[in-house]
Amino acid sequence: MSISDYEMIDAWKRVLTLSNLQAGQTVTILTGAASHPQTLATALIASQSMGAIVNRLDLLPVNGDKALSRDALAYLGTTPLTGNHAAIAALKASDLVLDLMTLLFSPEQHDILKGGTKILLAVEPPEILARLVPTLADKARVAAAAARIGAARQMRVTSPAGTDLTCPLGQFPVISEYGFVDEPGRWDHWPSGFVLTFPDDGQASGRIVIDRGDILLPQKRYVAEPIVLTVENGYAVRIEGGIDADLLNDYMAAFDDPEGYAISHIGWGLQPRARWSTLGLYDRESTIGMDARAFAGNFLFSLGPNNEAGGTRTTACHIDIPLRHCDVLLDGEAVVRRGVVLSPDDATPHA
């Protein structure tokens, strides 16, 4: 059900406080054609009430003639900031950007962050934002998992459905998403709660089985019959199965880009308040599926670019796929067992 403006203003204040917003700092709220009016209105009030100097920058949409979906993550690379030097200058001059539009996987975003500007993405419906307001405990949980990935040199993922994927690690940094931006130059996404990295370039290998009930994003679809991905030298070289595999193959073929088949980020969900089932309760165009990405214990992998972590691979095609019931192992030690996140005291070598 919907949420009151009062509750949304309170949610924004909690997130802005965690993001260390100070009176006198400049906040620019970045909006587009699909920005939620309640999220925008309450962000304006919350930021002003905390003493910030608040601007709104509204930009026209792009990629509508290329994307197969209205989802903001369905076509990456070009954004309303591409070639827009005046808008980029305004964002660079801001202490905090509240992104209600979606700038992911763009060189302009990296350029803005390099100057110390913080960027917080918030594009889910207001009631999802209010339900998943981040906490310091979320940060601590994600930071602990990030430290474990940072010390590992291999991630292996297995499942009863037949997944057996091996990913050498170490070439790319670990990325933590906990829902607020408490350091200069930090990007994050409210809501979230997961940890990720990228396999060493061209090194992931094995098999991934997307089983019944696993989720394809941006399709925002629960899989009805298994899809099998054969992974060689860092790429999905075959995608096999029934109608769900056909739909995925057809969607990816539309980009006509072999880089879209590369294994992109890998990691697991750590948000106990996010639910696997939530996606089934929303119209597809009203959400980007952050519950699906963040619910605790999922193995989240993606296909497509790695430039978000400093790699050179760019592609307009990006697909996130959270899997249930997996074991995730770092250097042979389980950190997720059958879809349940283990604490360091519970972690055991894989049998």
pLDDT in tens, 119-158: 999 999 999 999 999 999 999 999 999 999 999 999 999 9
Residue 125 sits in a domain of what CATH number? 3.40.50.980
Q: Does any domain span residue 351? A: no
pLDDT grade for 163, boundaries at 50, 70 and 90: very high
Q: Which residue among 131, 148, 166 closes a domain?
A: 131
**C-beta separation of 201 from 233 below 8 A:** no
Question: For residues 293 and 223, what is the distance between their CA atoms, to the nearest angstrom?
Answer: 15
Residue 348 lies in a domain: no
Asked whether residue 238 is assigned to any structural domain, the reply reads yes
Listed residue (130, 122, 112, 106) closest to 10, CA to CA: 130
Residue 147 sits in the same domain as residue 85: no
Instruction: Verify that 100 and 188 share a domain, yes or no.
Output: no
Among candidate residues 58, 108, 66, the one with its CA nearest the CA of residue 88 = 108
Please count the structural domains in the chain: 2
Same domain, 73 and 154: no
pTM: 0.94
Q: What is the pLDDT of residue 246?
A: 98
Residues 156 and 112 reside in one and the same domain? no
pLDDT, residue 344, reads 66
Query: Stretch 286-313: mean pLDDT, rounded?
Result: 94
Q: pLDDT tens digits, residue range 236-289?
A: 999 999 999 999 999 999 999 999 999 999 999 999 999 999 999 999 989 999
67 φ/ψ sector (left φ>0, alpha ψ -120 to 50, else beta): beta
Asked, for residue 347, whether it belongs to a domain, the answer is: no
Residue 346 in any domain: the answer is: no
**pLDDT of 351 above 60:** no
Q: What per-residue confidence (pLDDT) applies to 64?
A: 79
Domain boundary among 131, 163, 182: 131
**Same domain assignment for residues 88 and 235:** no
Single out the residue in 81, 98, 131 at which a domain terminates. 131
Residue-range definition of the domain harbouring residue 93: 5-131
